[in-house]
Structure 1
Amino acid sequence: MNNYLNFTEILSVTMILFAIIDILGAIPVVIALRNKAGHIQSEKASLVSLVLMILFLFAGEELLKVIGLDISSFAIAGSLVIFVIAMEMVLGVTFFKEEIPESVSIVPLAFPLIAGAGTMTTLLSLKSQYATQNIVVGIFVNMIFVYIVLKNTARLEKLFGVTGLHIMRKAFGIILLAIAIKLFRTNTGL
């Protein structure tokens, strides 16, 4: 691995993380969380996601080993949180009751929606193929985009309208449900 920035590697890492994070696909979830909490702290969610990803890139496997967890257990826990959020979206009921509305910017938004099990395991995979500095730049580029999307949820809500958001919420709820089940199945061997 080279010790310099490589545009091709940065672009590859950025695109891979963009697909895994899928902030555009999470817009209905973000809007639903914002409506539930009253607001989303874009800066906080983006910064916490950034810190989680960088920490996990450098110390993820070791940290999980120290607390006696493997990547599969970590992924299963994330899949269960995503499953509950997806069920809320599809059924229109509230399972995830938050006592402190500001905390939705951290759980479930920063983790596990943005910096979730899929993102974390992807980071560990990328580490074996790309130079670390290029992965870090790819993370920063993605977090800038995530911040822009989070900051503009009100505009996006106006753009899609009530009916459009309702349809998107149900559709993305089913997609999110499928992602949760895939994560669960992949990591349990079922």
Structure 2
Amino acid sequence: MFGIDIKEIITVGMVLFAVIDIIGSIPIIIGLRAKFGIIESEKASIVSGIIMITFLFVGEELLKLIGIDVNSFAVAGSFVLFFLALEMILGIRIYRDEEASSASIVPLAFPLIAGAGTMTTLLSLRSQFYTVNIIIAIILNIIVVYLVLKSSSKIERMLGKNGLGVIRKTFGVVLLAIAVKLFAANVKGLFV
């Protein structure tokens, strides 16, 4: 009904989970908490969810406005995902954010949770999956983000530095495979 497909929701959810990389961001979250005090988990989660859902609907029109088709954006997105995956697997930083002055919305909701990689991924996914499944996957990911933000200190103690590293690298490999699949699925559309 309405195109709801559990398999699609799981696939999109896994992709978004890997791109958002909230588990791998726990050290950053802990650093922000230490630097700025309390992090408003609810506010950060809600704002990042709103940003993602809004971009899911307005992003394609924005692209049309500037003359870019979804296939081109999806191929570009596959490169962004590829480099994000390399960062996760190799433990390097290709993209560096500027120093944040506040830990409320700006460094946490955007760009840490709903950043450029997430936006690119959403439009790329929209070219392959039903919108309703993407929205459900976004909501499920925002719930996970909220839970992780609320319990980041406990998770860090439980997994330890090595456990966080293993999870980050595992999701990096998954993300790399998704980037290759996205590229292969959309590159043909550029030459039609």
Structure 1 and Structure 2 fold alike (TM over 0.5): yes
Aligned to 2:126: 127
Given that 1:24 and 1:149 are in contact with CA atoms closer than 8 Å, whether structure 2 keeps it comes out as yes
Corresponding position of 2:108? 109
Give the TM-score, by structure 2 length: 0.65
Q: Is the 8 A contact 2:3 2:132 kept in 1?
A: yes
Say yes or no: does 1:10 pair with 2:13: no
- Aligned partners of 2:105 and 2:60: how far apart in 1? 22
Higher mean Cα deviation, 152-161 or 54-63?
Answer: 152-161
Matching of residue 139 in structure 1 with residue 138 in structure 2? yes
Q: Please give the root-mean-square deviation of Cα atoms over the aligned residues, in Å.
A: 3.4
Amino acid at match of 1:25: G
Relative to structure 1, is the Cα distance of residues 9 and 42 closer, same or farther in structure 2, using a 3 angstrom cutoff? same
Q: Structure 2 CA distance, aligned partners of 1:97 and 1:122?
A: 24
After superposition, the C-alpha distances for 1:23-63 in whole angstroms (9 at most, x for unaligned) are: 00000011111111111100011001100000000001324
Q: State the match for 1:22 in structure 2.
A: 21
Contact 2:48 / 2:113 at 8 angstroms: preserved in 1? yes
Identity rate of aligned residues, in percent? 52
Seen in structure 2, the aligned counterparts of structure 1 residues 35 and 136 have a Cα distance that, compared at 3 Å, is same
Distance 1:128 1:148, change over 3 A: same
1:153 aligns with 2:152: yes
The answer on whether the counterparts of 1:42 and 1:150 sit within 8 Å (CA) in structure 2 is yes
Tell me if the contact between 2:29 and 2:149 (Cα under 8 Å) persists in the aligned partners. yes
Number of matched pairs: 150
In structure 2, list runs of 5 or more residues that go unmatched: 85-93, 169-192
Q: Output aligned runs, 1:21-170, within 5 Å.
A: 21-63=20-62, 83-85=95-97, 96-98=99-101, 101=102, 104-159=103-158, 164=161
Contact 2:9 / 2:134 at 8 angstroms: preserved in 1?
yes
Aligned equivalents of 1:8, 1:116: Cα separation in 2: 25
Preserved CA contact (<8 Å) 1:84 1:96: no
Q: Which letter maps to 1:134?
A: N
* CA gap 1:84/1:129 in 2 versus in 1, 3 angstroms: closer
Paired residue type of 2:120: T
Unaligned runs of 5+ in 1: 86-94, 173-190
Query: Partners in 2 of 1:55 and 1:157 — Cα distance?
Result: 32
Distance 1:69 1:128 in 2: 17
Q: Deviations over 1:41-94 (max 9, x none)?
A: 00011001100000000001324666x69777xx8xxx9xx8444xxxxxxxxx
Deviation of 1:110 (Å): 0.7
Q: Distance in 2 between matches of 1:51 and 1:69?
A: 25
